Each structure stands twice: as C-alpha cells, then as structure tokens.
Amino acid sequence: MATFLYRIGRLAFRRRHFVALIWVALLTLAGVGAASAPAAGNSSFSIPGTEAQKAFDLLEQRFPGMSADGATARVVFKAPAGEKMTDKPNKAAVEKTVRELGHGSEVASVADPYTGHTISRDGSIAYTSVKYKVSGMELEDSSRDALKKAAQDARDAGLTVEIGGDALNAMPETGSGEVIGIAIAAVVLVITFGSLLAAGLPLLTAIIGVGIGVSAITALASPLDLGSTTSTLATMIGLAVGIDYALFIVSRYRAELAEGREREEAAGRAVGTAGSAVVFAGLTVVIALVGLSVVNIPMLTKMGIAAAGTVAIAVLIALTMIPALLGYAGRRVKPAGEKSRLLGGGRKPKNPGRPNMGTRWAAFVVRRPVAVLLLGVIGLGAAAVPAASLELGLPDDGSQPTSTTQRRAYDLLSEGFGAGFNGPLMVVVDAKDSGHPRTAFTEVSTEIKGLKDVVAVTPATPNKAGDTAIITVVPKSKPSSKSTEDLVHAIRDKGEATAAKSDAEVLVTGSTAMNIDVSQRLNDALLPYLALVVGLAFLLLIVVFRSVLVPLKAALGFLLSVLAALGAVVAVFQWGWLSGLLNVQQTGPVMSMMPIFMVGVVFGLAMDYEVFLVTRMREAYVHGEKPGQAVVTGFRHGARVVTAAAVIMIAVFSGFIGSSESMIKMIGFGLAIAVFFDAFVVRMAIVPAVLALLGRRAWWLPKWLDRMLPNVDVEGEGLRTRSTAEGTEDERELVRA
C-alpha cells in the first residue's frame, strides 16, 4: 500500500492543476445542488418493528385521513394578571385565533378550547391543538408563518401566547462557538508548523471537504429524508478528521524535507507513510459510523452514513489535494524545525541539543510505567463513576432553552394542567377480532383509570367501522420521567391481559411512547453494535500492527475513555455539575442515542491516534530499535503532532457546545471530553506504559496468523527498500563512469 500511495502523492504533486480543478469542480457541483434543494427538516423517530410504530401504521389504515404521524402544534394562551380566559375579550381573541388557524390548506383539524374543555381549573390558561395533514418535515413555510401570525395577533390582543409541538421545528443554531473552535485550530496549527502557509493547508482542505460533504447532504436531504441535525454532525466530524488527516501528512512532508529529500519525493513519501495511516484511521471511523445501521433506526443510520461519507472525502482530499497544494506552495513550506520569517525564522534555537517534550515524556513513562499506568487507570475509573447512574431518554420541548417559544409553551402547560399534558399517551384498541368491541373499549378505559400516575383518561373514540378506538391518557409526570415510562409499560401489560380475555389488541403510541421505544431499541443494540465495530476494527488493527496485544490494548483503552466520557456527560447534563458554565438550562436524562453514538464516533477517532502514534513506534521497532527505545522514538516524531491533532479536535467539538439544540450541545461536549481522555490519558500515558511493560511481547504474532495476513506495509518498508535499491544503482553508475 505504501508504494501505491507514494505514486499517488507524486502524481498529485506533478499534476496539481488537474487535481485542484477536480476538487473545485466537485465543490461547485455540490454547492449548486445544495442551493437548488429544499431545506431539510427534522427527521422523525420512526422505528420499524416497535409497538408505537405498529400503532401509527394501524391508525393510518383504520382512521383514513387522520394523519396520525402529521405535525402538531399546541397554541397555549395565558390571560393577563387578574383576568380569566373565559372573559369576553379574551374568549373573542382565542376564537378569532382558532378560526385563523383553521384556514390553512395543510391543516387537518383545530380544537376549540371552549368546546373541548382545555381550560385550566383557575381559568388563567387554555390551549388549542392544531393537527396537520403532513409531517413536520413536509410542512411548508407558509403554514408555519400562518401559525406564527395567528399567535402574534392574539398577543396583540393582550394575551400571552406560546407555541409547542413539532410544527415549529427549526434548524439548530451553533452560535459563535463553531467559529471559535476553528480559530483555535488555526492557532494550534500555526504553533505546530511555525508557518502561516503550512498551517493554512489543513484548514483549507478540511473546509473544502466539509463543504462538499455537507452540500451533498443538503442536496439529498429532501429525497433521502435527512434531518437537520445530519449536516451538523457531518460538519462536526468532517472538520475534525479533515484537519487531523491533513495535519499528519503535512507534518510528515516537512520531516522528509528535513532529511534532505526533494519536494516531489518528500510529498510521495509523506503520502506513502502518513497516508497509509490516514487510510486505516479513516477506515476505522467509517466502520464505526456505517456500523450504526445495525441499530435499525433509520434516522441514526442516515446520520452515520452521511458522516462516514464526509470522512471518506476527508481521506481522499488528504491523499490527493494536500500534495497538490504542497506543489503550489513550493519552498514556502519549510522543513521540520524551521519557521517562517514572520514567526521568528532564522533565529538560533536556545537549546539545540535538548530533546523535545514528547521525547522527555516518553522516556519518563518508560522509566515509571507502573506508576503512570495505575494513575491513568484510576483517574479514568474515577471519572467513569457517574456513568453508573446513567438515565436515558429523548429530548422534548422541556429540554429546549427557556428563550424558545416551545419551552415557554411547555412550562405554561405544566403550570396550568400538569407536566403530563406535555406528553399524552395515545392508546389504540384493535377490536376487529373481538365479538364485543364496545365492551373491550370500556374495559381498557377502566383498567387504565385504575393505574397510578394517571391524571385523565378520555372516552374511547371509535372509527366508522367501530372496530378500532383511540383513548388518550394524560400522565401525572413529565414525558421524559421514569414514572411515565413505567406507566407505558403498565398499560401494555394490562393490554396483554385484556387481549387474552376479549381478543382485543392494545397498543400504546404517541411521541412519548415512540421515544421510549427508541430508547429501548438503542439500549438493546448497544452491546451487539459494540461487538461488531470493535471486532471489525480489531481485525483491521491486527493487519496494520501485525500484533495481537497492541489492538487488544487499543480496544480496552477506548472502553476506558468512553466510560469516563459518559461519566462526565452524566455529571453535567444529568446531575447539573458545571451546567451554568456550559449553559445547560435543563438537566434530565441523557439522550438515549448518546452512548451508542459516542461508541461509534469516539472509537473511530481513538483509533486515529492509536494508528498515527503506534505506527511510528512499530516503524522504529521493525528497523532495529529496542522496544523501549522504539516507544521514545515514536513519541519524538509523533507526540507533538498527535497533541496538536487532539487539541484541534477538542476545539472543533467544543464549538458545538454553544448550539441551541440540546442534542448537539450534549454530543459536542461528550465527543470533546472523550477525545481529551483518550488522547491525553489513554494514548499519551497508558499506551506507552503498557508497551514498555510488554516489551517485545507487544509485537508478538503467531506464525500461522502472520502467514495468513496480507502485508499492507504501513511503515513504508517498501519505500525504504526502493530507496536503498536506487542508491545502489547510483553507486554502480558512478563506478562505471
């Protein structure tokens, strides 16, 4: 592989005009497609095979035109202090609003608060429910505008009006944090390379790669039903790996220049050696992201595949566009150790013979491996302790910032009717095979009324055929609470007993029940997914390192860092530690897809550092150095670059903590802290300590397995042999002359 990539690097360096033209054309094509595509909405949480989804499908058949999965909006009204919603002026304003809301072409129904009795006991708060014929993703902007206008007209009449539900789902705002993250990445690159031009190359190529990836996602958002968060997550991961992959190749290029090689040859060797590590690191990330499809949640599958596509683009750009841009840069990119004039180039170093910090740290770890190992493991173990209290759920309007109308509507409903009104349960009774449907409906209603944590149960509403009915159940607790989850399971248990007696099937659905089913599916899929991803990556790393113990150590270290990161997420988002600093306005259960998403993304990123750092060690070991010295050599060449890469990744992920959407905020924090733990504790401390303790055993591989594995030559041994052969041929030519 090293030889093949070497040729690609040299070809891209020589044919840089052609390579640059191809990438600019791809960026333009993707940009045009994105500009002409409709905006993405929020993808639904539908899951094939769950009870909630089965109930939705049944409602579509038995209640045609009901649009069970259509968008909903709850317009909540509050009377001025000292007044009631039943006062004539307030009632007139509400009735006018209800009439305005019913005029939209996409509106299926609007409930009148006065005929539907949706007024609080003290008379101060009322709400109307608006049901749309299409889902939130398909809802036109004109319908949203009409909804906002009707609410504003009621505000002008003196009422407090807020809107909840999924009809107003908006694109998440990341704020200025993303820009700050990129700015920090730029500063780190300048410090690492000592040159503005060399620092700009990884940033430029990463932005181009993300631009192509995100534009393609935007262009395909409507036909593929991609949610608004898909492009955000692809941006987050694409920026991080794009900068890192380019960083490693540019660093290796400068190291090759420092050894006296010509620029084209240096570009070829950089792509042949560091590029091999980039390919395998990228493969681990892609495996982890595409592996999310085994969970069988369409939204998560699309997010994973979209992000994996952006990572693949980042790998291709690093292998082709970076050497092309290095060709354009020429002598302005200095060899390793040299700085540009603007940043102090030409000055004599203060301590020219002193080992760099990476060398000194590795030497310390090799001398004290047991102490470093124990300290690292105990520290991560302590950080992981809160993970034992992990509670999972999915965000609702109650997790929105208090500045949003959705959150204010949620709070008003809780104030006037109780927290459970924000997440009513829809119980569907299928009595088609029952001899006495109405009796079955009554029995189900009676059974549910007897359950604890139930505030209200509406009378059964049958369809025209009279074989299916809908019963609305209002819980006492908020939608994301454990009590509401227990209530859903209790209703389903009662339904099984009813089915045995009257041949009627009872199904629980609605957004709250759907969220509970999503969480359960994610929990059930976590261990199989972990086994699949770690297993495939383990086999891949055996091929890369030609060792059994090194990949095993990499996987165990990853599990430590993920558990510690989950502990930090629980401490902040569930317990509320540092919540003010991070602007976490509502604590509660951790998003249910967080563990599995962190496993997928962080595993791929963790293997990046493992591959980049340990391949340098193996390269030194293969070329004759002792195991302890090989660890030091690997750190001398790779520690500075891996440190810079980790800081950049942390900065990019941290930029998304400023998002207005709780899911993006939590993912940004979780990934940032996981990279910190994995890069600086696991890879920089635990890995060298374990390798120092194992010695030569770290590189042990059974002979039978050695014969079976392909030789991918990540260390670039083929290039070294090629160089030696060329040198011998040159000597022969001199002798003949």
Residue 190 has pLDDT above 60, yes or no: yes
Residue 174 has pLDDT above 60, yes or no: no
pLDDT for residue 369: 92
Residue 731 has pLDDT above 50, yes or no: no
pLDDT for residue 285: 83
| Number of residues that make up the chain | 737
Q: Which residue has the higher pLDDT, 409 or 502?
A: 409
Structure token digits, residue 293: 């499809």
Mean of the per-residue pLDDT values of the chain: 82
Residue 370 pLDDT grade (very low, low, confident, very high; cuts 50, 70, 90): very high
The predicted model gives 677-683 an average pLDDT of 91
The DSSP 8-state label assigned to residue 74 in this structure reads E
C-alpha distances in Å from residue 522, one per residue of 292, 296, 392, 509, 594: 10, 9, 10, 18, 9
State pLDDT tens for residues 470-504.
988 989 888 878 888 889 999 988 877 777 777 78
The predicted model gives 110-126 an average pLDDT of 88
The predicted model gives 114-140 an average pLDDT of 83
Instruction: Give the residue from 602, 44, 597, 662 showing the smallest Cα distance to 295.
Output: 597
pLDDT for residue 714: 62
Residue 623 has pLDDT above 90, yes or no: no
Phi, psi (5° rounding) for residue 337?
95, -15
State pLDDT tens for residues 535-575.
887 888 888 788 888 888 888 888 899 899 999 999 988 88
C-alpha distances in Å from residue 524, one per residue of 296, 374, 521: 11, 33, 5
Q: Which residue has the tokens 């604890």?
A: 452
Question: CA 579 to CA 576: how far, in whole Å?
Answer: 5
Classify 494 as helix, strand or coil.
helix
Residue 340 has pLDDT above 70, yes or no: no
The predicted model gives 697-708 an average pLDDT of 85
Q: Which residue has the tokens 């170093």?
A: 349
590 strand-pairing partners: 392
The predicted model gives 626-647 an average pLDDT of 85
Which range, 186-200, 359-373, 470-484, has the best average confidence (pLDDT)?
A: 359-373
Residue 735 has pLDDT above 50, yes or no: no
Residue 721 has pLDDT above 60, yes or no: no
pLDDT for residue 734: 32
pLDDT for residue 724: 46
Q: Which residue has the higher pLDDT, 722 or 279?
A: 279
- Residue 597 has a CB neighbour count (10 Å cut-off) of 26
Residue 705 has pLDDT above 60, yes or no: yes
User: Is the pTM above the cut of 0.85?
Assistant: no
As a 3-state breakdown, the chain gives helix, strand, coil percent values, each rounded to 5, of 65, 5, 25
State pLDDT tens for residues 233-291.
788 788 878 888 888 888 888 888 888 889 899 899 889 888 887 888 888 888 888 88
Give percent above pLDDT 70 in the chain: 88
The DSSP 8-state label assigned to residue 625 in this structure reads -
